[in-house]
Every structure is written in C-alpha cells, then in structure tokens.
Structure 1
Amino acid sequence: MTSINFKPFLDSVLNFNTMDSLKSREILELLSNDSRTSAETIAGMLGLAPSQVKSEIDRFEQEGIIKHYGSTIDWEKAGIEKIVAFVDIDVVPAREVGFDAIALRIAKHPEVKHAWLVSGGCDLSIMVEANSLKEVANFVAEKIATIDGVTGTNTHFLLRKYKEDNVLFGDLEPDSRLVVSP
C-alpha cells in the first residue's frame, strides 16, 4: 500500500502567512540592489504588510539565503589605492571531491574576495584585492601556484571600474575628444 504525504499540502494551508515565491524573489531583488531598503519601503512597493516583509527577511537570514549586508565603496574617490586582479586557475580535480577542496583552500585566503568554478579556458577564477602589484604577484606565486593540483594561473589586472554591484562608477559622460583620421 502506498502512503501519501500530505505534509507539504498541510504546511501550505496551515501556514497562510508564508509568502509566495514570486514575492520572496522580489524582496531579494530589492535587497540585492540596496540592502538598506527598509521593510516598510519594500512592503509599500509590493503591496504587503511590513510585518510580512520583516518576517520574510528574518527567514532569509536564518536560512542563510542572505549571506551578508555590505557597501559598495569607491576606494579611488576615498583616496585609497586598491589593486584588483582576476586570476584564472587551471586545476587537476581531486578524486572524490573534484574542484571543491582546492577551491575552498584558495577561498579561505583574506586576499581572495570572490572565488568561482567556471566553464571555458580555466577551471577556477578568483578576484584578489591587495595594496600593490607586487603583493598580488607574490600571493599568486607563493600561495596559489604552489598548491598541489594547480597546474597554471593567468592573472588579469583591473584597469578601470565602470560598474560594480549595480552601481555606476566615475564620470561616465561621453568623451568629447575630437576624432582624428589619417
């Protein structure tokens, strides 16, 4: 005899305060664009009660859906020079864990701000932040390239930032230089 699991149905009926996935997604989208947006503002935008939005945000935090609240800083405008580099890493996957063991080992370094498994010309890609080109070079040469399983690296340095976290940077007005033709 086959038993039927009524729990999901009962949970949805009994928990009538649970928001539908579309509203939840809209809350997440609004917070991802500006994490300082208040529950009251979001509620007004989505036609919900502020208490509903607040409880949904609390749930996102408790379940680890919202990982971090942060700010996008224009370090150049603050007069602080930060060197940003993107490092493509070729890796031999480890038996039974694939890329995860090496990726997690790399991601634990404080210089690594982002770490991804990617498709294409490399296996892992990381974003590194340091105070000088030499710091980046030493980090890659001494901490990344020496890891067992890393077979190669390719480093690209950020030259100019136009947009980050949905925020435009700098004076992006069209250039008014004259066209020079031969």
Structure 2
Amino acid sequence: MEEILEVLEQNSRYTDNEIAVMVGKSVEEVRDAIRDYEEKNIIAGYTTLINWENTGTETVTALIQVKITPQRGQGFDKVAERIYKFREVKACYLMSSGGFDLTVIVEGKTMKEVAMFVSEKLSVQEYVQGTATHFVLKKYKDHGRIFKDKTVKEREAIFV
C-alpha cells in the first residue's frame, strides 16, 4: 500500500475517496492504512508548501553545515537533538561524508536574524566545532514542486 503514501506525498489534501480511486482500493482500506501509517509515525505530519516569494513576506533560508564532536555512547544524536529543538531550525540531517557532520536548515526574517542565531545559539553549543552558513538566494524547486511563476502568454494583436 505504498502507493497511498506516494499519493499523499504529492498532495495531502486528497480525500480518502479520491485516494481509493487512484490506488484501486476501497475507502475503508485507505482509511485503515492511513490510520496505521499515522500510528506508526510513517506519516509524521501534514504540511503546506508555501512559496513565500509570492506573498511579499520577507524570509531568509540558510543551509548551515555543522562540525560536531560525537558524544561517547550517544554519537551525534544528543547534539543533534539540542540543535533541532530550536524554533528557527526547520530541518536537521546527519551527513555521511565531507568536512561537516550535520546539515541544518534555518529560517528567519532577515540575514542578520539568521546570523545572530548561528553566533548566539548554534556555534556556542558544547561539542560544536565549527559552522559554515550558506544563504538561499532563490528557490527553484522544493519538496518536488517547481517554484516557477505561472505566466499567462499574451496573444499577439492582429489588426485588420
């Protein structure tokens, strides 16, 4: 029933009836599967992807690479937990190779706000050895969605 997850990942607003038709299952089978996925934390939540550039609201997104010292018996998990609990942190990933251990996605209202988060909250954490901050200048695609303006092509005027 992974096809139910694939449908929901594309658009979580589909109704149980619509999903049932799309995957060829009964509505009850779909409801039971979704309930089971939620209980097992396979479906961890439902979110809306917003293209903030089109709202006029100023937001800044930064990708921050963090070098940390793993803790004995807990590895990177305890340090990562302290970091991902900050409200500014939108995502936190353990990386497999390279000069950094964690990649942290942070959002703020201004570059200065993000910079202050890094200098006052993130880089001062015990076990954090260093950071590298990269600011997102423009989003072209996020979570599988292309952020292209839908422009209406104007027809050429014909004069007779």
Do Structure 1 and Structure 2 share a fold, with TM-score over 0.5?
yes
Aligned pairs (5 A) from 1:130-169: 130-169=108-147
- Deviation per CA, 1:41-64, whole angstroms, max 9, x where unpaired? 111112111110011111111221
The equivalent of 1:69 in structure 2 is 46
Corresponding position of 1:110: 87
Q: Is the 8 Å Cα contact of residues 118 and 124 (structure 1) preserved in structure 2?
A: yes
Counterpart AA for 1:104: E
Q: Structure 2 CA distance, aligned partners of 1:158 and 1:61?
A: 32
- For residues 119 and 65 of structure 1, the distance between their equivalents in structure 2, rounded to whole angstroms, comes to 23
5+ residue gaps, structure 1, are 1-23, 174-182
Please list, as runs of the form range in 1=range in 2, the aligned pairs for 1:2-21 lying within 5 A after superposition.
Answer: none
Q: How far does residue 143 in structure 1 lie from its aligned partner after superposition?
A: 0.6
Determine if contact 1:33/1:165 at 8 Å carries over to the other structure.
no
Partner of 2:156: none
Instruction: Report sequence identity in percent.
Output: 41
What displacement does 1:172 show? 8.1
Give the corresponding residue for 1:60: 37
SS at match of 2:22: helix
1:171 corresponds to 2:149: yes
**Larger relative contact order (Cα-Cα within 8 Å, sequence gap ≥ 6):** 2
CA distance in 2, matches of 1:75, 1:171: 12
Residue equivalent to 1:128: 106
- The residue that corresponds to 2:27 in the other structure is 50
Give the ranges of 4+ consecutive aligned residues of structure 1 lying more than 2 Å apart after TM superposition.
170-173
What is the deviation of 1:170?
2.6
Distance in 2 between residues matched to 1:83 and 1:95, nearest whole Å: 35
- Alpha-carbon displacement from aligned partner over 1:115-146 (angstroms, at most 9, x marks no partner): 00002221000000000111111100111111
Q: Letter of the 2:51 partner, please give it.
A: D
3-state SS of paired residue (2:43): coil
CA distance in 2, matches of 1:82, 1:148: 29
The within-5 A match list for 1:67-106 is 67-106=44-83
For structure 2, list consecutive stretches of 5 or more residues without a partner in the other structure.
152-160
Number of residue pairs the alignment of both structures matches: 150
Partners of 2:150 and 2:92 lie apart in 1 by: 29
